[in-house]
């Protein structure tokens, strides 16, 4: 088992636990190095760091940036960033500003599908009003009994081609990598197995990311099957990228992997946290 977990969410984005609760849970599961990586948001980092250091853990400042690339949304995790760096903070505030208008459009689309009150309903789940996520809409759909759980909410709603999905322009890949590097961090492609890309597009993504100065790919994540660990380990080696590992924990009952339940990296990979 790894004592490292470099991908997690708190109530500052779409997680269910506060930063201190999250870190306490990670500590209880034997994690010695933990990163908080809220979507497009840095506000939870101070609270998480204080809680982690009080428990003798290494804390890594992180963020998960939403990126539009070709016709996909990619998530780029920034690790070991300086949360006070103005280029990163300014870029993220621009990305967050787009979320409110997207949420209004999601709610209007759901309304057309016969689901009323989604904007107000989702907002009650978002403790950070700047950071309305599809996960908050999913919780509202569960609450109202339209679906039995959040994963069904994404299957029937909120994903491409379904009611409640709207196209949105996030940051570009060069922007995200530039902001992370400017803030002294390492850029990592989050859960690459989740993107619907043909092999040639995967190669284009990895090549472009490496040429921009990207550091690594998440090989071990709650989003990957064991087969995908091997697939993305090979891509990392082929493109000379390091490897990261993180549960992507959002909360009890909402995530496939819990904090600190990660298997070791496949043999031969260079851990991105080696330099932290
Ligand atoms: P957003 O950034 O607002 O588009 O929301 C993306 C978030 O929705 C992800 O970070 C996950 O928390 C959640 N999500 C996306 N797809 C799924 C899915 N298939 N099942 C459960 N949660 C999902
Ligand atoms: Mn999320
Ligand atoms: Mn993600
Ligand atoms: Mn995530």
Predicted confidence (pLDDT) per residue in 102-156, tens digit: 999 999 999 999 999 999 999 999 999 999 999 999 999 999 999 999 999 999 9
Q: Given a cut of 90, is residue 259 above it in pLDDT?
A: yes
Q: Which superfamily, per CATH, for 4-83+183-275?
A: Metal-dependent hydrolases (3.20.20.140)
Residue ranges around ligand 1 (CB below 6 Å): 14, 39, 66, 133-135, 150-151, 154, 250
Distance set, CA 38 to CA 14, 49, 70, 75, 241 (Å)? 8, 14, 23, 11, 23
Which one, of 256, 248, 222, 250, lies nearest residue 16 by Cα?
Answer: 250
Q: Do residues 162 and 110 make contact, with C-beta atoms less than 8 angstroms apart?
A: no
56 CA distance to ligand 4 middle (Å):
24
Q: Whose CA is nearest to atom 8 of ligand 1?
A: 135
Q: Whose CA is nearest to atom 21 of ligand 1?
A: 151
Work out the mean pLDDT of the chain and round it to a whole number: 97
40 CA distance to ligand 3 middle (Å):
11
Token pair, residue 45, equals 């980092």
pLDDT tens column, 11-25:
999 999 999 999 999
pLDDT tens column, 186-203:
999 999 999 999 999 999
Ligand closest to CA 248: 4
Report the predicted TM-score, pTM, of the whole model to 2 decimal places: 0.98
Distance CA 144, CA 133 (A): 17
Q: What pLDDT, on the 0 to 100 scale, is given for residue 253?
A: 87
Euclidean distance between the first and the last CA atom of the chain, given in angstroms as a whole number: 19
> Of the residues 73, 154, 218, 224, which should be mutated to test ligand 1's pocket, given the most ligand atoms within 8 Å of the CB?
154
> Of the residues 7, 11, 14, 191, which should be mutated to test ligand 1's pocket, given the most ligand atoms within 8 Å of the CB?
14
Token pair, residue 132, equals 């309305």
* Domain residue ranges of the chain, discontinuous segments joined by +: 4-83+183-275
* pLDDT band with cut points at 50, 70 and 90 for residue 261: confident
2 CA distance to ligand 2 middle (Å):
22
Distance CA 181, CA 35 (A): 17
């Amino acid at each position: 088992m790894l004592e490292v977990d470099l991908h997690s969410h708190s109530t500052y984005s779409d997680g269910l636990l506060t930063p201190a609760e999250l870190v306490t849970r990670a500590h209880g599961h034997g994690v010695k190095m933990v990163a908080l990586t809220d979507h497009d948001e840095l506000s939870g980092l101070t609270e998480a760091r204080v809680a982690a250091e009080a428990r003798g853990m290494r804390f890594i400042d992180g963020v998960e940036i939403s990126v539009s690339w070709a016709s996909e949304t990619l998530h780029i995790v920034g690790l070991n960033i300086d949360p006070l760096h103005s280029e990163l903070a300014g870029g993220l505030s621009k990305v967050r500003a787009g979320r409110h208008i997207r949420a209004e459009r999601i709610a209007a689309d759901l309304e057309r599908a016969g689901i009323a009150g989604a904007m107000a309903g989702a907002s009650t789940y978002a403790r950070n009003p700047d950071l309305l996520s599809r996960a908050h809409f999913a919780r509202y759909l569960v609450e109202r009994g339209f679906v039995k759980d959040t994963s069904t909410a994404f299957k029937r709603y909120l994903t491409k081609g379904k009611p409640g999905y709207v196209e949105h322009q996030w940051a570009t890949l060069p922007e995200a990598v530039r902001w992370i590097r400017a803030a002294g961090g390492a850029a990592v492609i989050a859960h690459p197995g989740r993107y619907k890309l043909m092999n040639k597009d995967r190669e284009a993504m990895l090549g472009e990311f490496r040429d921009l100065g990207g550091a690594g790919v998440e090989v071990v994540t709650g989003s990957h099957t064991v087969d995908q660990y091997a697939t993305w380990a090979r891509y990392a080696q082929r493109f000379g990228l390091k490897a990261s590992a993180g549960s992507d924990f959002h909360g009890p009952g909402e995530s496939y992997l819990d904090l600190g339940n990660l298997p070791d990296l496949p043999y031969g990979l260079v851990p991105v946290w080696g330099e932290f």
